[in-house]
Structure 1
Amino acid sequence: MENLSEDLDSSSEEKSQAPVQYQNARQVWPADLEANANFPFRPAAALVTTQNPPDFSWPFVPGADLYWLELSQEAAMDRGARETMELTNNFFNFPYTLNAGIWYWRVRYHNLAGGWSEWSPIRKFRITESSVPFPVPPINEMLARMEVGHPRVWTNPRVLSDFRARRQHGTAKLVFEKTHALVLASLEKLLPEDPNFPYMDGSQSTGSPAYVKALQDLRKYTDSALDRLLAASFVYLLTGDRVIGDHAKNLLMEFTSWDCDGATRFDINDQVHRAIAYRSSIAYDWVYDLLSTAERKAVQHMVHTRVSALIDYYLVRQPIYQFPFDSHGWTIIGYIGLIGTIMLNDIPDAEDWVRQSIPPFINLLPPWGGEDGSWSQGTGYWQWSSGSNKELMDVLLSAGAINLYDKAFSRNEGLYPLYMFPHGSPSGVFGNDSHYKPDLPSISLLNRMAHIYGDPRMKWASQAIGEEPSLGLHDYIYGDDRLGQLPLCDLPKSKWFPTTGLVAMHDDLRS
């Protein structure tokens, strides 16, 4: 990615002629909004974008009820072609492409007390002739596109037969056989009981070793049980085996019976709480035809209860479009969108969940990077969070809403591990969990990108790590056995990621 070096005429804003209804504006943009963890102005000044159109965002202004976005190909913004939008949110994705070339943009806000503010400084960006189209349909259009039947996760009724047939060949066959064997071995195991948490009475400090150990045990227990649920549900989806399907249903109904205000509630461990909500929703989608009306209602009620807590925290009290740099909040917004997409037409509120979560998710994807594909949190969190991003991306794709793998960040993301986290690294770099070296999560992500983009360099980078693939459920759909490997001979030995300021320098990317 490159930058436009030509500076804007410093007097261009003074020379611009605002529409008549805004000429008496008095308010200015609060400077402190740009100095903290708020939505940034995007596209950044002088961006050369490979995405058409780029994502637009600006700081959330408390009390603002409207924003006015203007674009023009004239620097003075007082004549010529212009795109204008009156918006209720501080972000926007155009539903159509823009002309290639240089564009100028600005935004202002409105509130009842002071009317319209002054314009923000004019920023410019350039759309290249070779940019990849990324129009984002209005949310009403995406809702209309979405699959109305079940399943919706990774497949849909129209392509289910072909999806099932994948288990007969290649990596998908290995994934199926491994998962099938694990499910058969667990059929006689007891159903997981609602766990206890020993310190719900506040008898231990939340930072004490005993409390932390109890949290770790709770998550390990719940994740293991949820793995059983998804494995059995997935095998039923692929085979229609009624014995396995009934086992999956029994597991799902057991999770449904757990006390949402007990040990697995949000304020004790949000990761456990959200995992039960979204993974139960996926299982519900895959075993839907086995559930009675009463059982469906019970699952829907449990999911609604758990999602309500997530929405209250991350869309009401601490909304993601005001505070985008929240690691757990960002992941949870994706899960809200995922659950809403699965439960659309089944839970009345699910449409509102989709409307509230998916537009900011698409615009912000991800808060930790930009068009160059880099990740500001460092390599450890890239391994965990990037995989979480793709949970919703995959479901939106299989449900027919939008392909987020076309977004510039997604297309360039593979460069980040190739340069910043290559095979042979003794550890990662920057941020939490930087002590981890490239491992199974990296292999899964690289294999996925190799498959989606048909990129043999990613396939080579994945296999060069040297670990055996974990053969998780995602590998069933993202393992292109026909794709060869290509060592990294055609890439420069160094790379600058301007979005995050990272620079990588190597003497040989292949070693």
Structure 2
Amino acid sequence: MIEETRHPHPHIDPRRPRDLSSPQTNPPVFAWKPGDAPAPFGLIVARDEALRDVVLQADGLADPMFLPERAFDAGRYWWTWTAGGDQAEPFSFEIGLDAVTLEVPSAQVWLDRLTLAHPRINIRKEQVAELRASIAGARADGWAQLKAVADGLLAEPHEIDEPPFLPDRQKDYDAFFRTWAPILWSSRRFVKGAEILALAWLASGDRRYARAACERMTSISRWDPEGSSHLSHNDEAHMSVIWDGSKVVDWVWDEFTDEELAVVIEQFRRRGEITFDHMHNRGTYGVTRFDSHAGREIVFLALLAMVFQEHIPQAREWLEWLRPVLCGIWPVWAGDDGAWAEGPSYGAAYVTIMTMFATALKRGCGVDLYRRPFWRGHAQWRQWIFPPWVEWMGFGDHSERWRGTWLGNAALVGRIDRESGARELSDYVAEFE
């Protein structure tokens, strides 16, 4: 018998489903902490504690997690994991009739369902004409606001210098911060500007916006992924490239020159490899590592793989690993009730980032993660912990009444309310306007 230690804290004992639990999503994700037990692993799920009436058996697993593709019938089950001919203590769980059935197909199915044309993230090529027609009608006000910002961006430079290396923060933190902070904010703003320009191109068909977005993404794609913006040296600079970058490239794909596109593809290929190595080969997210930045990088890697799948041979491998992580393990700082253990500020940032993937998967692949109970629970939690009239909300850092924080909270709740189909928090969102 493989020895394991039970603990109430899920970051110390990350086994899922917990013993005697009733998962609210069917099928549940299975995860365990292997310790010194080497891969490959096995998983057995049975209807009896002796594990004879087997309903699911998975062998040869490279990672200590598994998300079945098919839901279980209602009832009680027992599960265990195996390694090296030995097995762990069986845990039991019960699938109730009220559990949400959410079957997530393989990553290969995701890729098969994605259109081969661009754009493919959030909007398909065949939907662009409808979007452009709407700016003279239902979206006229929104277009006027977007156009004003995009026109301002057209007047700005579309080149960005590669950042310098950071000073040693252990020797001189002030010097480190003076270098690090401008790199963070200037690179974020630069790519966010490219996103706005790309959206203006989609909405209007005005190639001035597309050309500016292409120039920006080509410029930042000339950075050396192994240099000053390498993930291990300055992860914020690394993430500035891939945060919104994949989406921008998708939206203006056909407007790049061949030479520009080759530079962009190579940049994102190498950034993807670096991110996968950092996320997969240096601990298992949700099992042995729970660092906050990892919660961003899993999303950015998934979007990168979806946009560049034809040009990066490892894209399917990355998505197969990310499938149980993003569709089962996540969130590692919350449960089905939606409360975020890091507080509402960090929760807003990381849940908003996750909506990027959830929406892309829903729109592009027909898999609706917003049906998981967490989403509705999180929106309701925000209603109670973050009333519109509050001057200081507490429960974590960045608790001051900053305009961006207030509007970001309202935008997140509104998005969840729409995407989950709850349609119950519009009055709450309106109070922030």
Q: TM-score, normalised by structure 2?
A: 0.90
Decide which of 344, 347, 356 is 1:391's aligned counterpart: 356
Cα offsets for 1:247-283 (capped at 9, x unmatched) = 2212221112233344433234312211212422222
1:452–1:305 distance in 2 versus 1, CA, 3 Å: same
Q: What is residue 162 of structure 1 aligned with on the other side?
A: 130
Q: Is 1:215 the counterpart of 2:219 in the alignment?
A: no
Q: Is 1:283 the counterpart of 2:248 in the alignment?
A: yes
**Aligned pairs for 1:100-115 within 5 A:** 100=74, 102-111=75-84, 115=85
**Aligned pairs for 1:433-452 within 5 A:** 433-435=398-400, 439-452=406-419
1:62–1:35 distance in 2 versus 1, CA, 3 Å: farther
Q: What is residue 148 of structure 1 aligned with on the other side?
A: 116
Deviation at 1:344, TM superposition (A): 0.8
Deviation at 1:327, TM superposition (A): 0.6
Q: What is residue 91 of structure 2 aligned with on the other side?
A: 122
Deviation at 1:55, TM superposition (A): 2.4
**Aligned pairs for 1:105-254 within 5 A:** 105-111=78-84, 115-117=85-87, 119-127=88-96, 129-170=97-138, 172-197=139-164, 200=166, 202=168, 205=170, 208-254=173-219
Indicate the RMSD between aligned Cα atoms, in angstroms: 2.7
Deviation at 1:337, TM superposition (A): 0.8
1:104 is aligned with what amino acid? Y
Deviation at 1:314, TM superposition (A): 1.4
C-alpha contact 2:108 2:316 (8 A) present in aligned 1: no
Bigger drift between 77-86 and 280-289 goes to 77-86
Deviation at 1:334, TM superposition (A): 1.2
Q: Distance in 2 between the 1:375 and 1:126 partners?
A: 25
Decide which of 296, 313, 317 is 2:278's aligned counterpart: 313
Deviation at 1:302, TM superposition (A): 1.0
Secondary structure at 1:330's aligned position in 2?
Answer: helix
2:89 is aligned with what amino acid? S
1:54–1:36 distance in 2 versus 1, CA, 3 Å: closer
Q: Distance in 2 between the 1:427 and 1:182 partners?
A: 31
Q: Which has the larger radius of gyration?
A: 1
Deviation at 1:401, TM superposition (A): 5.2
1:360–1:121 distance in 2 versus 1, CA, 3 Å: same
Q: Distance in 2 between the 1:195 and 1:138 partners?
A: 38
Deviation at 1:459, TM superposition (A): 1.3
C-alpha contact 2:121 2:364 (8 A) present in aligned 1: yes
Deviation at 1:65, TM superposition (A): 2.0
**Aligned pairs for 1:66-85 within 5 A:** 66-74=40-48, 76-77=49-50, 82-85=55-58
Q: What is residue 378 of structure 1 aligned with on the other side?
A: 343
2:44 is aligned with what amino acid? E
1:424–1:48 distance in 2 versus 1, CA, 3 Å: farther
2:112 is aligned with what amino acid? A
Deviation at 1:434, TM superposition (A): 4.3
Secondary structure at 1:360's aligned position in 2?
Answer: helix
Q: What is residue 484 of structure 1 aligned with on the other side?
A: none
C-alpha contact 1:274 1:306 (8 A) present in aligned 2: no
Cα offsets for 1:401-422 (capped at 9, x unmatched) = 5221122222332122122223
Q: Distance in 2 between the 1:338 and 1:206 partners?
A: 37
Q: Distance in 2 between the 1:456 and 1:321 partners?
A: 31
Q: Distance in 2 between the 1:452 and 1:196 partners?
A: 38
1:290–1:457 distance in 2 versus 1, CA, 3 Å: same
Q: Is 1:461 the counterpart of 2:395 in the alignment?
A: no
Q: Distance in 2 between the 1:207 and 1:364 partners?
A: 38
Q: What is residue 481 of structure 1 aligned with on the other side?
A: none
1:201–1:368 distance in 2 versus 1, CA, 3 Å: closer
Q: TM-score, normalised by structure 1?
A: 0.77
1:133 is aligned with what amino acid? T
Deviation at 1:336, TM superposition (A): 0.6
**Structure 1 residues without counterparts, runs of 5 or longer:** 1-26, 469-511
Q: What is residue 96 of structure 1 aligned with on the other side?
A: 70
1:463 is aligned with what amino acid? A
Cα offsets for 1:151-198 (capped at 9, x unmatched) = 11111123333344443455x44333212111112223222331443x
C-alpha contact 2:162 2:220 (8 A) present in aligned 1: no
- Using the aligned pairs only, state the percent identity: 20
Deviation at 1:95, TM superposition (A): 1.4
Secondary structure at 2:285's aligned position in 1?
Answer: coil
Aligned residues: 430
Cα offsets for 1:16-53 (capped at 9, x unmatched) = xxxxxxxxxxx423438997845612222333333222
Q: Distance in 1 between the 2:145 and 2:310 partners?
A: 34
